[in-house]
Amino acid sequence: MTLPMPAWPIWLLSIVMVLFTAISVVLVLTVLIQKPQGGGLGSAFGGGGGSSGQTAFGTKTGDALTILTISVFVIYLALAIALNFGSKIVSAAPPAADPLAAPETAPTDAAPTNAAPAEPANGGMPATPATPVTAPSDGATPVAVPTPAQTPAPAPAADPAPAPIPAPGR
């Protein structure tokens, strides 16, 4: 029996996962250091009026941060797609069909789940072993006579259909 394995080696998946985590952190940080375009909640409470064009890196960093954010996002998407394909589970070889194995089939005569267990045909007495049949001395073919333990049990009576449920009171 072979165990399912990922499409890529484990060491390569580990490296890609570490890169993916690092790029995720860089993406979050690049989004957080950008200047707000609309003011957000800060302007709703009276703040942000005097700092409209000032950021930690100067006044013209908006274009560079936008390009950096888009670049990091493209790398993030490429690594996410690579991890998706690299971590797919593939089996080493399909299982070979065994020509000697019996095909699996579902049971055809399943007992209903609400039926009571059937009484033994012999009234709960232990089954008597079948007596061996010996060939008659006159050369005729032997005929097996069923003993009481070999007689088939009668089929249990089917449960009557449940009574219909009356409609709620009016």
How many other C-beta atoms lie within 10 A of the C-beta of residue 23? 18
How many other C-beta atoms lie within 10 A of the C-beta of residue 149? 14
67 Rama sector, left if φ>0, alpha if ψ -120 to 50, beta otherwise: alpha
Could you tell me how many residues make up the chain?
170
**Residues 47, 28: Cα–Cα separation, whole Å:** 24
E-only strand ranges, the chain: 5-6, 89-90
Q: Which amino acid type is present at position 102?
A: A
133 and 142 in contact (C-beta within 8 Å)?
yes
Strand 89-90 versus strand 5-6 pairing type:
antiparallel
Closest CA to 111 of 149, 152, 159, 150: 159
pLDDT of residue 19: 96
Question: Domains of the chain: which residue ranges?
Answer: 24-38+60-92
Neighbour-count burial of 168, counting CB atoms closer than 10 A to its CB (0-12 exposed, 13-18 middle, 19+ buried):
exposed
20 to 11, 16, 61: CA distances (angstroms): 14, 6, 26
pTM of the model: 0.42
HSE-CB for 117 with a 13 A CA cutoff: 3
91 and 132 in contact (C-beta within 8 Å)?
no
Closest CA to 19 of 84, 68, 79: 79
153 and 121 in contact (C-beta within 8 Å)?
yes
pLDDT tens for the chain, residues 1 to 170: 567 778 888 899 999 999 999 999 999 999 998 877 765 555 556 665 555 555 556 556 668 888 999 999 999 999 999 999 988 887 655 555 655 665 566 556 655 566 556 665 666 665 655 555 565 666 666 666 656 665 566 676 777 777 777 778 75
